[in-house]
Amino acid sequence: MNRLQELHDSGVSIWLDTLSRDLLETGDFATLVDEYAVTGATSNPTIFAKAITESDRYDDQLRSLVSAGVTDTRELFFAMALDDVRGAAAILRPVHERTGGGDGFISFECTPDVADDAEATITQALDLWQRLELTNVLIKVPATDAGVSAIEELTAAGVNVNVTLLFSLERYEEVIEAYLRGLERRVAAGEPIAAISSVASFFVSRVDAKADAALPPDSPLRGRVAIANAHLAYGRYLERFAGARWEALQGAGATVQRPLWASTATKDPSYSDVLYVEQLIAPGVINTMPDKTLRAFAEHGNAKRALGSDPGAAKAVLSAAAAEGVNLKRITRALEHEGVKAFCDSYRQLVDCIEAKVSRAALVR
C-alpha cells in the first residue's frame, strides 16, 4: 500500500480496471479507494459481461425490471450497469471534490455495436450522459474513424469523454485534435469549458503481444516496443498541450486530456508483473490496473519515475524493431479492429446471459 501511495505521489492516478456489484456491495471497492490510493475506475463490455454472467447479485434487480415491463435487453443492461456506475461514482465523489474535479472518475462505455457509426455513438453517449447526470463520469468512445468524429461532437456538447482502444501515435494525434476542436467550438459558441474532462486511453501490453510475435525469440527488443510507443505518445501529449493554441484554451478554463495507460497487465509470464506500471511513470498520467496488477505493485513495485520528455531512446527502439520485421502500423490497425470485435463478442455474450436469466425468471413465475 505504501508503494501505491508513492506511485500516486509521483503524479500517477491509479484506477481500477474493473467494476462489479460484488466489488461495490462487499465494500472492496471502497477499501481500495481508502487504503490503496485508487482514485478512479473503468468498465467496458467485457468487464460487465464477466460481472453479470458470473454473479447472481443482479438477479433481483433484473426480475424487478422485467416485472415493471422493461423487456429490451439493452435497456435491462443499462439499468443494471448504470446503477453500478452511480455507486462507484458516489464512492469516488470525495476524491473528485478534493482534487477540484481533476480525478475521481468512473467510466462507462458506449455499446460496441455503434463503434463504427458516429451518429449512433453521439446519440447513445448523450443519452448516457444525461441519464447519469454526474460530473465524475466519463463516457467511453472507441478511437475508430467514427469515434474520432464523435469525440469532437461530444466535447463540443460538454460531455466528458474517455477515448478508448487507442494504439497508434497517428490515431492519438487525431484524438487530441478532436478534443481541441471540440473545446474551441464551445468557446466560439460562448459555452463554458472549465468543467469538461477527458482522458485518452492508450493500450500497452497488447502491442507487445503482437510485436514480440514478429521478433526473433532472442531479440533484446522483446517487451520494449509497447513501452517505446507509449513513451512517444506521452511526448505528443506534452507537445500538444503547450503553446499558443493550448494556452488560449487554458485561459478559458480548459483542462488537459490526460493520457491513460490501459491494458497494463503483463501478458508474457517471463516479464515482470508490474512492467507496464514501473516503466510508464510520469506526472499527470493515469494507469488502469486489474486487481492482480494493483496488488502486485503494492507488494513489490518501484515507484521511481521512468518516463521523460526525451524521445530519442524510444525512437531508437521502434526503429530497431522495424528493422527486425515489426510493422507497427499494421499491428496497431489490427489491434483496433480486434479490440472492437472482442468487445462486440463480449456484448453478445452479455445479451445472451441477460436473455437467459429473463427466461429462467419467467419459468419460475
Instruction: Report the alpha-carbon distance of residue 202 to residue 280 in Å, rounded.
Output: 11
Locate 353 and state its grid cell: 446471459
Scan for cell 493515469, then name that residue: 286
**Distances from the Cα of 332 to the Cαs of 113, 163, 287, 336, in angstroms?**
21, 16, 20, 6
User: Strand (E) positions, the chain?
Assistant: 13-16, 38-41, 105-109, 137-142, 161-166, 198-203, 258-262, 286-289
- Give me the count of residues in the chain: 365
Concatenated DSSP letters of 178-216: HHHHHHHHHHHTT---TT--EEEEEE-HHHHHHHHHHS-
Nearest C-alpha neighbor of 44 from the set 36, 32, 56, 52:
52
- Is 341 marked active-site? no
19 contacts 51 by C-beta, under 8 angstroms? yes
Looking up cell 469532437 gives 152
Residue 283's nearest CA partner among 242, 237, 223, 224 is 237
Could you identify the residue written with the cell 474520432?
148
H or E stretch at 221: none
**What whole-number distance in Å separates Cα of residue 365 and Cα of residue 122?**
39
Cα 159 from chain centroid? 16
Does residue 182 contact residue 154 with C-beta atoms inside 8 Å?
yes
Residue from 50, 140, 292, 315 carrying the catalytic annotation: 140
**Of the candidates 59, 54, 66, 106, which has an alpha carbon nearest to the alpha carbon of residue 82?**
106
Active site residues: 140
